[in-house]
Amino acid sequence: MLSFQAIGALVGMSIAGAAISRFSARLLTVSLSLGALLLIALALLVEALVTASVIMVFVGFTLGFSCSGAVALAGTLFPADVRCGGLGFAMAAVRIGQILLPGAMGLLLASHAAIVLLMIITAVIPILGGITAYGLGAIDAKDDSSSVHFV
């Protein structure tokens, strides 16, 4: 099943930068929200292998798109003199989450939590990301210089 997710992620990551540049950061909100809904659908339909595999392709697309789109967006939000450090810090925060989430899921599985519950908990993360992307989209839309200067 993870290979289906990887196929979708490859496509999503390939078009993310151009799509974010052309449309706006709000596209991240849509993608993350759709990813969360797909994760909930996957939790409910995990028993149907073909359906779950198709959903995994779209989960991979939306979340892969969102991850690469967030990096593309971050490049426009940081001023040039701190862009490298800001992007590095943001990517480090993401990597920490990628390390902690599987550990937390492992602990929940060890405590015999239901798979459906785990998938719904996992869906909360893109929802939080969508809220953040919405806020960043508002900042990006208000700024004429396409660079937000943090003081």
pLDDT in tens, 64-81: 898 888 887 777 778 888
pTM of the model: 0.76
The reply to whether 151 falls in a domain is: no
Torsion sign across C-alpha atoms 119, 121, 122, 127: positive
Both tokens assigned to 32? 């993350």
pLDDT over threshold 70, residue 28 = yes
pLDDT grade, residue 147 (50/70/90)? very low
Q: Is 51 exposed, middle or buried (0-12, 13-18, 19+ CB in 10 A)?
A: middle
- CATH code of the domain covering residue 50: 1.20.1250.20
Q: In 3D, which of 97, 87, 89, 88 has the Cα closest to residue 63?
A: 97
pLDDT given for residue 142 in this prediction: 56
User: What is the tens place of the pLDDT at every residue in 106-132?
Assistant: 898 899 988 888 888 888 888 888 888
Backbone angles phi, psi at 114, to 5 degrees: -70, 145
The reply to whether 94 falls in a domain is: yes
The reply to whether 127 falls in a domain is: yes
The reply to whether 147 falls in a domain is: no
Four-point Cα dihedral 68, 65, 16, 79, nearest 10: -40
Q: Indicate the number of domains in the chain.
A: 1
The reply to whether 150 falls in a domain is: no
The reply to whether 75 falls in a domain is: yes
The reply to whether 27 falls in a domain is: yes
The reply to whether 22 falls in a domain is: yes
Residue 57, domain extent: 2-141
